[in-house]
Structures are given as C-alpha cells and as structure tokens.
Amino acid sequence: MGTICGGVCGCRQNWEVPGRASRALLATTIGHVLPHVTRTAKALGLTVDSAPQVVDVLDDRGGRGLERLFQKLARELTGAETEAVRVVTDPPDDGVALTARLLTAPTLAVELARRGVTVEVGVLAEAEFWSVYQPIVSLADRSVVAHEALLRGLVDGREVGGGDLFFVAESAGWLHRLDRIGRESAIAGAVPWLGSHDLFVNFNPTSIYRPQVCLASTERVAHDAGIDPQQLVFEVAESHAIADRGHLVSVLEHYRSLGWRVALDDVGTGWSSLSLLAAVRPEVVKLDKGLVQELPDDGARAVLKAVTDLAHQLGAVVVAEGIETEELAEEVAALGADLGQGWLFGRPVRPEPPAEELEGRWQPVARAR
C-alpha cells in the first residue's frame, strides 16, 4: 500500500504486490523459450508438465522453488524474451476464472518487476507520495506567474525522485496508477497557497486509455479544489507525444473541453518538433532544458529560435527551462522566450501550509505498510 498525500491526505492505493506462489503457468509463441524454462525448472527440482506453447510448473516446497526460478529466468532470458512470455501464478480451478486470469495475464517482465526481482518495488509499495513545486517566472520582470508540480516519494526516510518512481511503475505495469496519483497530488497539494498563479501538471498519455473515464477522478479533484480551470496547464513531454499522436490529440481535446490548457514539454529534442507543434497547437511550449543549457552554441540557438518563432505564430506562450545563470536568462529572453524556469529562480520545494491549515486537513500522514 502507498499513501497519496499531496498536502491533502487520506487516500490509499493498493499496488497488488504478489506473494509466494506454488504453481505457475507460462505461455509464449516463441519456440525456444519454453524449453529453456523447462530445463531450468527441472534443474531446481520443480515438477514440470509441458504442452504446446505452455509450461505448467509446480512447487511442492511452499513457493521457494518458484522464487528461485523467477530469479534465474530474470538473469538468463533477455528483456525481449521476458516481454514475450505470459505468466499466471496459482491459477484458479474454475474455468471462467481461469480464462479471465489467462486473458489478463501479465508478461513475465511485469511479473518479475512486481515481485521485486528486477526493480526495487518497495519504492512504490511502501511510499508516501507528495508533490514539490518549482516556480515559473516572467522573464520581463521576474515575477512568479506559475508553478510546476513534480512527484516525490518517501521510503524508510529516503526521498525518491519522480524519475525512479515512474521507472518502477512503468516496469511493473502500474504507470496509469502512478500517473493519476501524480496529477491528483499536484492539484490537491497546491490548493492552500496557489492563489492566482497557474499550475503545471505532468501527465503521460499512455496512462490514459479513455479520457472521459481515466480522467474522471482528476476532474473531481480539480473541481473540489476550487481552482479555476484556466489555471491548470497539463504538460506532456515531446517524446511521449510522438508515440501515438492520434491518441494524444483525443486526450488533449478532452482536457480543453474542461477548460484546461495544454503544454508541450522538452520541445526541440525530436526531429519532428515543428510538425508536432503544428499538430498539437499547445497553449504553452516549454523549450528543452538540454538545448537551453547549450547556449550560446549557434546550433542550439538556431533550433530554439525556430521553435520559439513557430510557437508564437501559433499563439503559444514560450517557457525556457533549465535556466541556472543570468547569462542564460538573457540569452533565452533575446530569443523571444516569455517565461523562465530553473534553479536561478527557485528549486522544487514543498510549500509550508498556512498555519490555520495545520489544525485540519494538513496533518501529516504516516506511511501505510
């Protein structure tokens, strides 16, 4: 279990970490994989029953043998092979239930991640989550106009960054859950102090299957928070946007139907940046931090200038990320960027709640175990 606490707490998420199993069905159409599984299982003293494209492995020792099998397969099979194998542990006897389990069976890669064999699954399973916020300022007068929310986790007193959290979630097939936690934590945590500033919230379009359904709880949180819809800017990284442009457009259309705005992040790194801008037509364009930090390199300047000019032609506001020095701030301002974000203006922090809130919903929450 993990606690979701973005300033407003009390919500919990079950990550369904699997326990020990005494039987496993493994299936694949890749011909050479199952014979290897069979040999490995038999070498560990497990009972194996083989059929075309399926191996049934039975462990009479309380699950310890299957644990060792999973560990060996993680070392001996390639990532592509583990992605091509489906696995069901402790399959039910009932025919309908078994069919359902088979149809929804995770890949071996996902099963290994959820069991903590290939990733540190405790990062999610035992974490308390909250959002930190980094200011975004006007380059004209350095006034704060917005904040970007970034997810953080706390595990056994150790703070875990969003990159690690989302890596584990994607490996274990839980990206859609963590993405929802991130969106809702960002909004809930900003309620007491945001004021009239805009709030930038990250999302991954692959975590959203049908926007009307998958975004319903986020919509409720935003409504209950009382934040003006026009203050919410949902940003997607260019690399995520390229994966399935048609799906992304449908998600963004739903966002806009709710009055929310859209930002395209890390623009300038992909070969199709300009065509993507024209297709998505975001209200906000965020220049890639890596390119910004290459200034005054002529190549970086040319790319950033082209992106900035097109963004302005499309009516978008341009944010330059990764600004750590006054020289960089002057460079991006000269290129036409409107807003700036980076350590020069402030690092991501967890704002202190107003004193009166400490007596109510802002009480800290212990990690759920």
Beta strands in 172-231 (DSSP E): 198-202
pLDDT tier, 274 (very low <50, low <70, confident <90, very high otherwise): confident
Highest-confidence segment of 261-275, 290-304, 354-368: 290-304
- What is the pLDDT confidence band of residue 14, given thresholds at 50, 70 and 90? low
What pLDDT digit, counting tens, does each position of 189-224 carry? 999 999 999 999 999 998 999 999 999 999 999 999
Res 8 pLDDT > 60? no
Q: Which two tokens stand for residue 178?
A: 């963590």
Q: Which of 168, 164, 188, 179 is nearest to 235 (CA)?
A: 179
**Token pair of 76 as six digits:** 């001996």
Tell which phi-psi region holds residue 96, choosing left (phi > 0), alpha (psi between -120 and 50) or beta.
alpha
Whole-number Cα distances in Å, 167 to 76, 109, 139, 161, 326? 22, 13, 33, 10, 33
Instruction: Give the model confidence (pLDDT) of 285-329 as tens digits.
Output: 999 999 999 999 999 999 999 999 999 999 999 999 999 999 999
Contact 21, 59 (CB under 8 A): yes
**What pLDDT score does 354 carry?**
58
Contact status, residue 369 vs residue 3, Cβ threshold 8 Å: no
The per-residue DSSP string of 53-98 comes to TEEEEE-SSTTHHHHHHHHHHHHHS-HHHHHT-EEEES--SSHHHH
**Containing H/E element for 119?**
none
Tell me what pLDDT residue 369 has.
26
**Inter-CA distances, 126 with 9, 11, 108, 155, 368, Å:** 16, 14, 23, 6, 7
More confident residue, 206 or 7: 206
pLDDT of 353 > 80? The answer is no
**Cα dihedral sign for 320, 237, 254, 188?**
negative
Question: With the CA atoms of 282, 287, 290 and 293 taken in that order, what torsion angle do they form, in degrees rounded to the nearest 10?
Answer: -170
Number of alpha carbons in the 13 Å side-chain half-sphere of residue 26 = 30
* pTM (2 d.p.): 0.87
Residue 146 contacts residue 341 (beta carbons within 8 Å): no
pLDDT score recorded for residue 356? 52
Whole-angstrom Cα distance, residue 256 to residue 284?
Answer: 13
pLDDT surpassing 80 at residue 2: no
Lowest mean pLDDT among 90-99, 121-130, 240-249, 303-312: 240-249
Contact call for residues 260 and 288 (beta carbons, < 8 A): no
pLDDT at 238: 76
What is the band of 141 on the pLDDT scale with cuts at 50, 70, 90?
very high
Question: How much is the mean pLDDT over the chain?
Answer: 89
User: 10 falls in which pLDDT band (50, 70, 90)?
Assistant: very low
**CA within 13 Å, CB half, 277:** 27
* Closest by CA position to 120, among listed 86, 169, 78, 157: 169
